[in-house]
Structure 1
Amino acid sequence: MPPTNRQYNCIVIGGGPAGCTAAALVAQAGYTTLLVERDALPREHVGESLMPETYWTFEKLGVLDQLKASRFAKKVGVQFVNNTGRESQPFFFRNHDPHESSETWHVDRAEFDQMLFDNARAKGAECLDKTRVLDVLKTQDLVTGVRLQSDGQTVDISSRVVFDCSGQQSLLANKFGVKQVNPNLRKASIWRHYRGADRDESGGGVKTIISHTRDKQAWFWYIPQADDLVSVGVVADNDYLLKGRGKPEQIFAEELQKCDGVRQRVEGAEPLDDLRVAKEFSYSTTQPAGDGWVLAGDAWGFIDPVYSSGVYFAMKSAEMASECVIDALRLDDPSAERLGAWNDEFSAGTKWVRKLVHAFYSGEFRVGKFAMEHPEHTAALTNLLIGRMFHEDVPKLFDDLDPWLERMIAEASDSEPDDEMVDGAPVLA
């Protein structure tokens, strides 16, 4: 159905975690808010593993009790498997911080996103799915609304702020030419779900498992979920994974045979008929906001799935940007400067995760060895994996990690060092 009004204080594009967070917080502050999602909800989506630091945004949204009562699998840690199939000890987040925020969930994104969508409606936003944004409306350089298509009708809706959380569709970033694909992270992924695969719940919950293939050309995620399902995906350079190798089903099977850490876990399990592909998904934007518009979530940028940061970045950026939107509406000043004031702090935090991603893809990131040589940085590294990217100790980590990694790359040989355990401590990668 079309929107009930023709004018709102804020229009939010995209009904994923970022859009639902933005709509809920702006509406809760007392401003008329319209949230539109182009697809019919509920709908499947990749990105089921959450970072523990999402806890604080969930608390602000008022959905923690729903999550605690949900059927979602409780995530208590991570585990890494090297290219030889050797496993690290499980790394439990609560050993770093015993607060309940150190445990989170592996979610069914269809159900999770629907919960957040319903929460935005409960907070006062008008929420519509099956509604496409055809264009944005402008008066000179000021964005003043959107043109929508809903139930076969095309309508122009005005607003004081357009909040783009359209995900990798990146509607405004593409329109205004501010999206840039990362040339050093041109990755692709193929993923599917299995029923009846291995499920280790030692430690009181499930873990995200990251496993390299034997040739280290690719890595797999392994994410146990509710209802005896496991999400399994392979990630590699786009050209290596998808070009000239046949159908995605065949490529997935070939890479699985080279990944003992995952292949053994899915033996005898039932692969579901839901294989999907994504490519060249790492990108950034050169401008977070303009007059009358602001970006958040994947519409602002996406780094890589390796550390499960996507949903946390989406929700945290939307939370921070929402504060700027509320401020702009209160002062009647929807300028680029005011709407984008959140960006510097957020970018300063996410750049450390970006650096850790590049370290992972160097092929020589031996965290056990690094921790042995620099035990003073173990807490900072753990903070990054949990999502505490704004912690004051994190920048100091890279003062030593960068030169150490350069030395490891220079010393790299065909043999793999046996550093999976250091004084009984778990290896993180």
Structure 2
Amino acid sequence: MHDVLIVGAGPAGSTAANLLAQAGVRAVTLDRDVFPRFHIGESLLPIDLPIFARLGVAMDRTRWQYKQGAEFIDERTGEYAFFSFADGLDGTPAHAWQVDRAAFDKMLADVAVSRGADIRFRERVTDIAIADDHVRVTSDRGEHRARFLLDCTGQDAMLGRGARTIAPLHELGRAAVFCHFDDLAPDVRQELGDQGNIKVLIVEDGWHWLIPMHGGRLSVGLVKWRGKLDDDAFEAALAASPLCRRLTAGARRSDTRTIRNWSYKNTRPSGPRWACVGDACAFLDPVFSSGVSLAMLGAERTVDALVPALAAGREGAADLMAPVHASMEVAYVSFEQLIRRFYHTRMVSHLFFARTPDPMLRKGLISMLAGDVWRDDNPFQDMLRGSRVQPQRVTTPNE
């Protein structure tokens, strides 16, 4: 009998495994893959820096691309804006990192193991059963029992999809088509590497990402919230962008990949003896790079609630994770509202590209872009709360 079973060893699972091991909790983590394995989502946020320190994760320029901020570009109008994280509200961390997710996720898992975590790869979970006094997980290698279960299965969202509680968030990004470019021209490598900023190119009904990475790689993707999105649409968008053509000229290109079924919430993210964490709980359009950060921070908050509950024998309480979900909902709602304004209002023109923006609103926007959303002195975030862009009603698919 373990204390905790974790399904999935990505950023959420490895963070939980690391912190549980540090707390002396008997936990085992199962993942169907072997790391490193490919994953998209390469742009991190400054709000990650404190959790990196707590995990014992060392980030430096010899392995990862330093990220100073974010650039927003509309090539149709010539408008441009640069936001340096260092210009946010007081206390907002001043930089972030761009990472190769295969190497980054393996590093998180390796650090967790070095802290005492038990992570087992190439073990596929086939069934989960929740009883009154324990949880049982069946895998292709055998059976495991524990006092509590964490679903960290990412967008597979094993519990949510099994219970049909995954509800789409309409009018946000619904898919992405992307590839990588290697062996960039030396002048391009220097240009991109100096600041390491993510570049967001605004296009009709969507946006491009351009993410410089360590070693001269450039990740390029296209996200749209409506309209046709396939390989042909991606090729057309690349050809139509002078910046994309210039930065990738002569570079070696990877195969094109597509990911769909983005933007959703799990309408029942926890229950007695179980909780969903990270993308298994919710996933938003990645325009503001919130996925990895919210996964790791959600795991941290979940573990901080779970450890004392295990010690007191209260881990079976149905409302154990209610404070965690309330805390994470602040971030999910804030980012969802920011994304909806990005797509469906004039916010980009009026604030992002404003010649003389309100200085405090701009600082508040930068802190939000940094993921620093759990504070009560951000006038921009207060504005989002006070005038929400209403989505369609979120329901479970079987309602």
Superposition TM-score, scaled by structure 2 size:
0.89
Report the 3-state secondary structure (helix = DSSP H, G, I; strand = E; otherwise coil) of the residue aligned with 2:275: strand
- Shift of the 181–45 alpha-carbon distance from structure 1 to 2, 3 Å rule, reads same
Give runs of aligned pairs for residues 7-406 of structure 1, distance below 5 A.
7-63=1-57, 66-68=58-60, 70-84=62-76, 86=78, 88-96=80-88, 101-139=93-131, 144-149=135-140, 153=141, 155-185=142-172, 187-197=174-184, 198-199=188-189, 201=191, 204-213=194-203, 216-237=204-225, 239-242=227-230, 248=231, 250-273=232-255, 275-334=256-315, 335-362=317-344, 364-365=346-347, 366=349, 367-368=351-352, 372=356, 374-394=358-378, 397-399=381-383
Report the 3-state secondary structure (helix = DSSP H, G, I; strand = E; otherwise coil) of the residue aligned with 1:53: helix
- Shift of the 268–401 alpha-carbon distance from structure 1 to 2, 3 Å rule, reads farther
Q: Does the 8 Å CA contact 1:194/1:266 hold for their aligned counterparts? A: yes
- Shift of the 258–191 alpha-carbon distance from structure 1 to 2, 3 Å rule, reads same
Q: Does the 8 Å CA contact 2:89/2:363 hold for their aligned counterparts? A: no
- With 196-205 and 222-231 compared, the bigger mean Cα shift is at 196-205
1:107 to partner: Cα distance:
0.5
1:199 to partner: Cα distance:
3.4
Q: Does the 8 Å CA contact 2:334/2:384 hold for their aligned counterparts? A: no
Q: Does the 8 Å CA contact 2:277/2:298 hold for their aligned counterparts? A: yes
Q: 1:364 & 1:57 partners in 2: Cα distance?
A: 35
- Shift of the 267–58 alpha-carbon distance from structure 1 to 2, 3 Å rule, reads same
Q: 1:143 & 1:219 partners in 2: Cα distance?
A: 46
How many residues of Structure 1 are paired with residues of Structure 2 in the alignment? 384
- Shift of the 386–40 alpha-carbon distance from structure 1 to 2, 3 Å rule, reads same
- With 383-392 and 356-365 compared, the bigger mean Cα shift is at 356-365
Q: 1:336 & 1:115 partners in 2: Cα distance?
A: 34
- Shift of the 97–373 alpha-carbon distance from structure 1 to 2, 3 Å rule, reads closer
Q: 1:337 & 1:227 partners in 2: Cα distance?
A: 46
Report the 3-state secondary structure (helix = DSSP H, G, I; strand = E; otherwise coil) of the residue aligned with 1:18: helix
Q: Which amino acid aligns with 2:50?
A: W
List gaps (5 residues or longer) in structure 2: 391-399
Report the 3-state secondary structure (helix = DSSP H, G, I; strand = E; otherwise coil) of the residue aligned with 1:251: helix
1:348 to partner: Cα distance:
1.7
1:136 to partner: Cα distance:
0.7
Q: 1:220 & 1:202 partners in 2: Cα distance?
A: 16
Q: Which amino acid aligns with 1:221?
A: W
Q: 2:191 & 2:217 partners in 1: Cα distance?
A: 13
Identity among equivalent pairs (%): 29
1:201 to partner: Cα distance:
4.3
List gaps (5 residues or longer) in structure 1: 1-6, 243-247, 407-429
1:67 to partner: Cα distance:
1.3
CA RMSD of aligned residues (A): 2.5
Q: Does the 8 Å CA contact 1:307/1:385 hold for their aligned counterparts? A: yes
Q: Which amino acid aligns with 1:206?
A: G
1:325 to partner: Cα distance:
1.5
Q: Which amino acid aligns with 2:249?
A: E
Q: Does the 8 Å CA contact 1:350/1:389 hold for their aligned counterparts? A: no
- With 294-303 and 80-89 compared, the bigger mean Cα shift is at 80-89
Q: 1:203 & 1:272 partners in 2: Cα distance?
A: 20
1:18 to partner: Cα distance:
0.6
1:245 aligned partner = none
- Shift of the 119–238 alpha-carbon distance from structure 1 to 2, 3 Å rule, reads farther
Q: 1:262 & 1:16 partners in 2: Cα distance?
A: 30
Q: Does the 8 Å CA contact 1:321/1:340 hold for their aligned counterparts? A: no
Q: Does the 8 Å CA contact 1:200/1:206 hold for their aligned counterparts? A: no
